[in-house]
């Protein structure tokens, strides 16, 4: 085998209280895709930041083509031929495609000003080369979808002749087809001899595109090898440090009487005719395509979205939550899909995030009792097995999975009757996923009722007692999740094709 293009040797990066990377190594080879695998918090993002000049490692060497280099700024990374494509691409919405591609290295005229005509011609050339003929070089970036923005980012990588391309969860926001297009492009980059680092949570993608893999866990490298020779079970075992036998927990809980009853709930534009019941101790799944109106219905129950008509009955009493505060008081809580912006307050300590809706309980006559807040936060974060170095640590310093645990801990502390989880495991790794699922099972065992909105069919079918299928703002069908229900049947129902199964 040829020598590696890029070698990371014994890289260590620590932050106050946390060692994010502990003596890790990584090799990237020209013309090969290396998949970086690990749970959230394993150190993948930190590694990307080290490679792109955002973080300077405390120790260790970065060697490119046998020469040690120092990457202490984004510009250094650019000089080293490293280009990154992020989950949500970091480009400039208000600039044109051509400007985005050539920002910082635009062709100049002999007067030192930007040679616009040359820039556009070259941008067109690069876009054509990567098969993005449909993207106009003069289009404003904000007019493009996320998939096309990725293509622009790839074009940018080509234009600086990057030899090392990092893709940090590029498929997270893409549709099936767009992912296929991206893979075609990755094959093209491979054939041009680029060394590619591919980060993803999805095993089917990793097996489809990667030649080699490296697994990180808790800031250390725990294994590497080549694909597809290594079986998935072996990689999962490396990731979590134990064998995952059973993905979804089995439950023995008894579903009780109706707790929450929704009658004919309407919204001027987002949903209509919403009626369903939630029973005590039940997990009710909400399935549908993105944009089916599921989140809007949930936010109506939580007092955020205003309804035009309909009633909500909780435990025999009609409630009309006008704000989240009303809903929480009634006993309904909501774990939002947008964790970082709606779930946790990233710049505040963990304990203050957890105690926020329970301040009335932890305080005495409206005066804060910090010790009680710590006690409350410790009780619930321990139950969820939160990984943090201290409860005063800012929530934003934790991984996505751990942030989700804070949101759930915050709600459990309010002793709710109904907990609504909106895409609870989106973007979190297998280990945390299993923890969230286990915990949901525990909650219903204790008599809580759970509504889970999810776009992942295995999750919906693995967890729910019953499934509400929505399409274009309406409930199509409510089905019992029994042995007769197959994924294929679910897809047929969800696609909105009228089929009289009854």
Residues at the interface with other proteins (CB under 8 A) = 16-17, 302, 304, 323-325, 327-329, 334, 336, 341-348, 351-352, 356-357, 359-360, 363, 366-368, 374, 378, 381-383, 385-386, 388-393, 410, 438, 442
**Smallest separation, CB 416 to other proteins (Å):** 11
Between CA 419 and CA 427, with CA 422 as vertex, the angle to 5 degrees is 130
Q: Is the dihedral of CA 141, 147, 148, 151 positive or negative?
A: positive
CB of 176 or CB of 360, closer to other proteins: 360
CB of 103 or CB of 325, closer to other proteins: 325
CB of 285 or CB of 416, closer to other proteins: 416
Long-range CB contacts (within 8 A, 24+) of 359-365: 361/413
CB of 337 or CB of 429, closer to other proteins: 337
Beta strands in 125-233 (DSSP E): 164-168, 195-199, 212-217, 220-226
The conformation of residue 358, written as its DSSP 8-state character, comes to G
**Smallest separation, CB 183 to other proteins (Å):** 36
Distance CA 226, CA 27 (A): 12
CA distances from 400 to 40, 42, 92, 403, 432 (A): 6, 11, 25, 5, 9
**Smallest separation, CB 371 to other proteins (Å):** 9
Tokens representing residue 392 in the block: 């005063």
CB of 223 or CB of 249, closer to other proteins: 249
- How many alpha carbons lie under 13 Å from residue 401 in its C-beta half-sphere? 21
Q: Would you say how long the chain is, in residues?
A: 502
CB of 73 or CB of 309, closer to other proteins: 73
- How many alpha carbons lie under 13 Å from residue 123 in its C-beta half-sphere? 27
**Smallest separation, CB 390 to other proteins (Å):** 5
For tokens 């704000």, name the residue: 323
CB of 87 or CB of 342, closer to other proteins: 342
**Smallest separation, CB 296 to other proteins (Å):** 15
**Smallest separation, CB 414 to other proteins (Å):** 8
**Smallest separation, CB 162 to other proteins (Å):** 26
């Amino acid at each position: 085998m040829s020598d590696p293009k890029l070698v990371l040797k014994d890289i260590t990066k620590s932050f106050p209280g946390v060692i994010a990377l502990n003596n890790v190594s990584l090799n990237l080879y020209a013309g090969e895709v290396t998949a970086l695998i690990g749970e959230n918090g394993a150190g993948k993002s930190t590694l990307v930041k080290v490679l792109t000049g955002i973080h300077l490692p405390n120790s260790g060497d970065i060697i490119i083509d046998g020469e040690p280099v120092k990457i202490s700024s984004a510009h250094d990374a650019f000089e080293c031929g490293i280009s990154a494509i992020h989950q949500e691409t970091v480009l400039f919405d208000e600039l044109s495609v051509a400007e985005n591609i050539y920002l910082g290295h635009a062709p100049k005229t002999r007067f030192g000003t930007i040679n616009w005509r040359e820039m556009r011609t070259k941008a067109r050339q690069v876009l054509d080369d990567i098969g993005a003929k449909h993207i106009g070089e003069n289009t404003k970036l904000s007019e493009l979808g996320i998939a096309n923005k990725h293509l622009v980012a790839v074009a940018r990588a080509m234009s600086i002749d990057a030899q090392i391309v990092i893709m940090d969860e590029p498929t997270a926001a893409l549709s099936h087809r767009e992912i296929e297009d991206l893979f075609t492009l990755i094959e093209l980059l491979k054939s041009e001899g680029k060394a590619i680092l591919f980060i993803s949570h999805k095993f089917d993608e990793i097996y489809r595109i990667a030649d080699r893999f490296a697994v990180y866990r808790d800031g250390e490298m725990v294994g590497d090898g080549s694909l597809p020779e290594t079986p998935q079970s072996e990689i999962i075992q490396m990731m979590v440090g134990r064998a995952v036998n059973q993905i979804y927990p089995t439950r023995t809980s008894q579903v009780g009487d109706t707790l929450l009853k929704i009658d004919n709930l309407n919204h001027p534009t987002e949903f209509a005719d919403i009626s369903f019941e939630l029973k005590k101790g039940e997990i009710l799944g909400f399935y549908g395509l993105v944009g089916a109106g599921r989140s809007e219905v949930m936010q109506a129950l939580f007092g955020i979205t205003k309804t035009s008509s309909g009633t909500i009955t909780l435990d025999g009493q009609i409630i009309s939550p006008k704000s989240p505060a009303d809903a929480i008081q009634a006993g309904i809580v909501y774990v939002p899909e947008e964790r970082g912006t709606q779930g946790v307050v990233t710049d505040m300590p963990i304990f203050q995030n957890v105690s926020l809706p329970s301040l009335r309980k932890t305080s005495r006559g409206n005066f804060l009792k910090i010790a009680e807040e710590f006690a409350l936060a410790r009780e619930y974060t321990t139950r969820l097995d939160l990984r943090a170095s201290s409860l005063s640590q800012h929530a934003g310093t934790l991984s996505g999975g751990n942030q989700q645990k804070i949101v759930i801990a915050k709600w459990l502390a309010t002793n709710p009757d109904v907990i609504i989880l909106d895409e609870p495991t989106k973007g979190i790794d297998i280990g945390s996923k299993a923890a969230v699922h286990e915990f949901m099972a525990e909650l219903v065992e204790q008599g809580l009722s759970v509504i889970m909105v999810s776009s992942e069919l295995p999750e919906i079918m693995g967890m729910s007692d019953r499934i509400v299928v929505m399409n274009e703002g309406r409930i199509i069908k409510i089905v019992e999740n029994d042995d007769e229900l197959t994924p294929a049947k679910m897809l047929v129902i969800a696609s909105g094709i009228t089929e009289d199964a009854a």
